[in-house]
Amino acid sequence: MQRKPAIRFTRHARNRMRWHRIEDGDVASCLENPELTEPAIGGKTHSWLRSGDGFLRVTWIETNREILVITAVRKHRPPGR
């Protein structure tokens, strides 16, 4: 059985999470079961998950040992709009 990589947060991500009232578990859910995953600039990835009356977008990079969350925000509009 392969272990899931650890999730680590940048300072920016923690600040955005606090501002948007996003919990660590919300981010983990978005990373484990996203409704949509799309490439982003600089080798990053956006994962989207419907959350309440909006959407949660988590931007992250995967390394050999961990997933580094760059930012997490709540959006009112779905991806691509």
Per-residue pLDDT tens over the stretch 1-53: 566 789 999 999 999 999 999 999 999 999 999 999 999 999 999 999 998 88
Instruction: Report the predicted TM-score, pTM, of the whole model to 2 decimal places.
Output: 0.90
User: Would you say residue 71 has pLDDT above 60?
Assistant: yes
Residue 64's pLDDT is 84
For 2-45, give the DSSP string: PPPPEEEE-HHHHHHHHHHT--HHHHHHHHHS-SEEEE-GGG-E
CA dihedral 42, 43, 44, 48 (to 10 degrees): 120
Classify domain 6-75 by CATH number. Answer: 3.30.2310.20
> What mean pLDDT is predicted for residues 49-62?
94
